[in-house]
Amino acid sequence: MRTTIVSLLAVVAGMIAGAILMLLTGKNPIDGFSFLFLGGLKTIDRIGDTLATATPLIFTGLSVAFAFRTGLFNIGTPGQMLIGGLSATAIGLTFDLPSVIILPLMIIAGFLGGALWAFIPGLLKAKFNVHEVVSTIMMNWIAYWTVNYTVPLYFKGEYLETESRKLPADATLRTDWLSDLFNGSYVNYGLVLAIIATIIIAFILNKTTLGYELKAVGFNKFAAEYAGMKVNRNVILSMLIAGGLAGLAGVVQYAGNSDVIQIGVMPSQGFDGIAVALLGANSPIGVFFAAIFFGILYSGTGFMTAMTKIPPEIANSIIAIIIYFAATSILFEKLVSKYLKGREEKKLSKQSSVKGGEQ
C-alpha cells in the first residue's frame, strides 16, 4: 500500500513539473494535459493505440522489475529487445508458414534471442562479479550495430535502406478482428501476450519456490548462499528470464505494432522499461498499470502537439521527472519504516523490561 502511494506521489510530482515546463514555453498546461489524455483515450481506436503502445513497455517493465527482484539492474533491455525482434523478424521473413505455426515460432525465437543477449551479462556477473550495468550497456551497443549491419545485408527493405522488408501479414501479431474491435487501431495479439506474461511472472514471484529463491538471492545473497541456494545459477536464470521478456518486447513491437524493424534506432521502450518498473514498484501488476499510463502519455502526444504546438518531448520529460521522484521517494519509504521500527523497538523493550523485572 505504502509503495503505491509513493508511486502515485511521484506521478503527481512529475505532472506538476510537466505543467511548469508547459508554462515555461508559454502554453497553457490545462490545455496541454487535456489534449494529452484525450489523445490517448478519446475514442476507441485511440484507446487501442494506447494499449498497443503500452504493450512493449509492459514487457520491458516486467524485464527490469523481474531482474531487480533478484538484485540485478537490467539496463540491457534495448539490446535484448533488438535481438529478440531481429530473431523473430528473421524467422518471419525466411519461412513461409501459416500463422498458427510461424507466430509461436517467432515468439519463441524472440524470447530466446533476448534471453541469449542477457545471458552474457548474467554469466559475467555470476562468474566474475562484473557489474551488470556496464556489461548490459556494452551489449546494447553491440546489438545496435549488429542490427545495423544485419538488416541491410539480409533483410533489406524494398524502398528504404534503413528498414527491413515488411513481414507478411500472416507473420505478424495483427489480426483483423482485434483491429476491427478497436476501430482500426493497431492493437494486436501482443496485448494478449502481455497480459499472460504479467500473470505468469506474478505467479512465479509469489507462489513458486523459484520465486522464493530468486527473491532471497536478491535481498541477501549471502544468506541465500549460506542456506544452500545456488546464487550463481539464480543470477543467470533471472537474467535469462528478464532477457527473454525484453526479447518479447521486440517481438510485439516489430512484429505486432509495426511490421518492419528499423536500423539506427536504440529503442526507447528499452529505457522506458526502467521507468515503468520503478513506478510499478517492481511488482508485475504495478508494472502493468504503469505501462498503460505511459502508453497514454506517448499515445496522446501526437494529438497534443497538433493542437497546442507543445514539443512532443514533453512526454519523455514528464516520464524522466517521474523517475527522478520515484527514485528519491525512497526517502519517504525510509522515514516511514524508521518510524515504524522505532515504535516496534519501544514496544519490545517495554515487553522485555517487564519480563526482566519478573525475574
Q: What are the cell numbers at 80?
A: 535484448
Residues 63-92 contacting other proteins, CB under 8 A: 73, 75
Interface with other proteins includes 156 (CB under 8 A)? no
Residues 210-239 contacting other proteins, CB under 8 A: 210, 212-213, 215-216, 219-220, 222-230
Interface with other proteins includes 145 (CB under 8 A)? yes
DSSP string over 235-274: HHHHHHHHHHHHHHHHHHIIIII-SS-BSS---HHHHHHH
Query: How many residues sit in the footprint of other proteins (CB under 8 A)?
Result: 81
For residues 340 to 359, the per-residue mask of contacts with other proteins, x marking binding by CB under 8 A and - elsewhere, is xxxxxxxxxx-xxx-xx--x
For residues 110 and 251, the answer to whether their CB atoms sit within 8 Å is yes
Please say whether the dihedral angle defined by the alpha carbons of residues 191, 197, 199 and 202, taken in this order, is positive or negative. Answer: negative
CB atoms within 10 A of CB 4: 14
CB of 27 to other proteins, least distance (A): 9
Q: From 126-134, 171-179, 183-191, 292-300, give the range in contact with other proteins by CB under 8 A.
A: 126-134
d(CA 41, CA 300): 8
Cell numbers 549491419 correspond to what residue? 149
Q: From 95-103, 108-116, 239-247, 271-279, give the range in contact with other proteins by CB under 8 A.
A: 271-279
CB of 29 to other proteins, least distance (A): 14
CB of 195 to other proteins, least distance (A): 22
d(CA 210, CA 198): 16
Closer of 107 and 276 to other proteins (Cβ): 276
Closer of 95 and 141 to other proteins (Cβ): 141
CB of 254 to other proteins, least distance (A): 20
d(CA 276, CA 211): 21
Interface with other proteins includes 307 (CB under 8 A)? no
CB of 130 to other proteins, least distance (A): 5
Closer of 42 and 346 to other proteins (Cβ): 346
Answer for which of 12, 265, 330, 336 binds other proteins (CB under 8 A) is 330
CB of 91 to other proteins, least distance (A): 21
DSSP string over 280-320: TTT-HHHHHHHHHHHHHHHHHHHHHHHHH---TTHHHHHHH
CB of 356 to other proteins, least distance (A): 7
Interface with other proteins includes 320 (CB under 8 A)? yes
Closest residue by Cα to residue 279 from 11, 33, 1: 11
d(CA 38, CA 46): 9
Interface with other proteins includes 331 (CB under 8 A)? yes
Interface with other proteins includes 105 (CB under 8 A)? no
Interface with other proteins includes 128 (CB under 8 A)? yes
Interface with other proteins includes 241 (CB under 8 A)? no
Closest residue by Cα to residue 93 from 167, 172, 148: 167
Answer for which of 135, 164, 269, 283 binds other proteins (CB under 8 A) is 135
Cα angle, residue 57 at apex, residues 302 and 314 outer, rounded to 5°: 35
Interface with other proteins includes 208 (CB under 8 A)? yes
Closer of 18 and 114 to other proteins (Cβ): 18
- DSSP 8-state class, residue 170: G
CB atoms within 10 A of CB 105: 15
